[in-house]
Amino acid sequence: MAHPLLELKQLQTYFISSKGTRIVKAVDGVSFTLAEGETLGIVGESGSGKTVTSLSILRLLPAAARIVGGEIWFGGENLVTKSEPEMRRVRGSQITMILQDPLMSLNPLFTIGEQIAEPLRIHLGMRGGTLVERIKELLRGVRIPSPEVRMREYPHQMSGGMRQRIVGAISISCEPRLLIADEPTTSLDVTIQAQYLKLLKDIQKRSGLAMIFITHNIGIVAKMCDQVAVMYAGKLVERAPVRTIFNQPAHPYTEALLNAMPKLTDKSERLWSIEGQPPDLANLPPGCPFSPRCPRAEDRCRREVPPEVQVGDDHYTRCWLWERS
């Protein structure tokens, strides 16, 4: 693609214990690209490194974590080398984030209006009447009725779905180019989730913003995403356009995830399950991290980490089974 909006090149983020003895490779050599207006879904379970990847992009890592290698190219600049004041200009205005728990994302001591105003004041320097109008406009944009009244209310006075919409409003307030949503609907009811996802899709259509959806639910990916990246134990094991992932999954893990989902449509007697336990990041096997659970693992898989190979149009995977072709 011409100029991707976001490009990760071999990103490595490790958690290092204070005495330097324990290293957890939370993100280990992850690369992908994202074009303007596109939606990428990063799918993985606990310990896959998907959240750490998003925190690395925004440079919001906890103290024990460090980006030890790789590059993050956004709008022509490498975010890894930026200083903290420079990153502060990026966060909130160029790249924003929505988290899972809206109750944790909103400050219980400030009104909704004040919280929406914050990024507008900092990044766009809005004040007074224009600021109030913009806040009302944003609230209307996320389908919150009577914005003038709601502005003066506090987070605890609203329901979970509403709070998540307000978090959405805050994040798009400065018209960012990229929105990272980390499990934004996990705590929402199913019908509210449907509303919310539709809202996000509409916002994207209106503003042309690119989105990264981080989720463990492959159904969200099917509904919302154009591109998919599947992560396992810190490595990106497959990336492809969404239909390719569903129709021709290359990596055994992706295949297993797709099969393990109970579907509304068919009534199979038994679900296809993946053997074994989720990986222990401090204690990974020497080869492919999925090898202990892979039904098709060979000797080589257990010894050497497979490199990323191309298996089709815009379709890459890390698996020795594809190396031959």
Partner 1 sequence: MRTSQERTSQEDLSASQLTVTPQTFSADPPVALRWRKTAAWLRGAPIIPLFIMAVLVFTGVFADFLAPHNAEVGNLRLRYRPPVWQERGSWDFVLGTDHMGRDILSRLIFGSRISLVVGIMGVLVAGSIGTLLGIVSGFYGRWVDQVIMRLTDSWLALPAVSLAILLAALSSPSKWNIVIILGAVYWTRYARVIRSEVLSLKERDYVRLAVVAGCSQAKIMWTHILPNVANTAIVLATLNFGVVIIAGATLSFLGVGVAPPEPEWGLMLSEGKSGLMAGYWWLSVLPGLCIMFVVLAANLLGDWFRVWSDPQLRQL
Partner 2 sequence: MSEKLLEIRDLKKHFPVTKGIVFQKVIGLVKAVDGVSYSINAGETMGLVGESGCGKTTTSKLILMLETPTSGEIVFRGQDIQTLQRKDLRTYRRGVQAVFQDPFSSLNPRIRVGDIIAEPVVVNEALPKAEIKERVQELLRFVGLSPNAVNLFPHEFSGGQRQRIAIARALSLNPSLIILDEPVSALDVSIRAQIMNLLQDLQRQFGLSYLLIAHDLAAVLHLSTTIAVMYLGRIAELATSDDLRHKPLHPYTQALFSAALPSHPDEQREEIIIAGEVPSPLNPPSGCRFHPRCPFVKAVCSEVEPVLRPVADGHQVACHLYTDPA
The residue within the footprint of partner 2, chosen from 219, 286, 295, 307 (CB under 8 A), is 219
Strand stretches in 216-305, DSSP E: 227-232, 235-241
Part in contact with partner 1 (CB under 8 A); list of ranges 21-29, 104-112, 201-209, 307-315: 21-29
The residue within the footprint of partner 1, chosen from 191, 265, 268, 283 (CB under 8 A), is 283
Long-range CB contact pairs, 62-65, < 8 A, 24+: 64/15, 64/16, 64/17, 64/18, 65/13, 65/14, 65/15, 65/16, 65/26
Does residue number 292 form part of the binding site for partner 1 (CB under 8 A)? no
Does residue number 285 form part of the binding site for partner 1 (CB under 8 A)? no
The residue within the footprint of partner 1, chosen from 1, 3, 23, 243 (CB under 8 A), is 23
Rg (CA), the chain: 21
Query: Cα angle at 6 between 201 and 181, to 5 degrees?
Result: 40
- In this structure, the chain runs to a length of 325
Does residue number 217 form part of the binding site for partner 1 (CB under 8 A)? no
87 binds, among partner 2, partner 1, none (CB under 5 to 8 A by kind): none
**Closest distance between partner 2 and the C-beta of residue 198, in Å?**
6
| Cα–Cα distance for residue pair 322/315, rounded to 1 Å | 12
Q: Which two tokens stand for residue 62?
A: 């906890």
Does residue number 12 form part of the binding site for partner 1 (CB under 8 A)? yes
Of the CA atoms within 13 Å of residue 211, those in its CB half-sphere come to: 27
| Cα–Cα distance for residue pair 262/200, rounded to 1 Å | 26
Does residue number 277 form part of the binding site for partner 2 (CB under 8 A)? yes
**Closest distance between partner 2 and the C-beta of residue 81, in Å?**
35
**Closest distance between partner 1 and the C-beta of residue 79, in Å?**
13
Nearer to partner 1, 35 or 80 (CB): 80
**Closest distance between partner 1 and the C-beta of residue 68, in Å?**
4
- Footprint on this chain of partner 1 (rule: CB under 8 A): 12, 14, 20-23, 66, 68-69, 80-81, 277, 280, 282-283
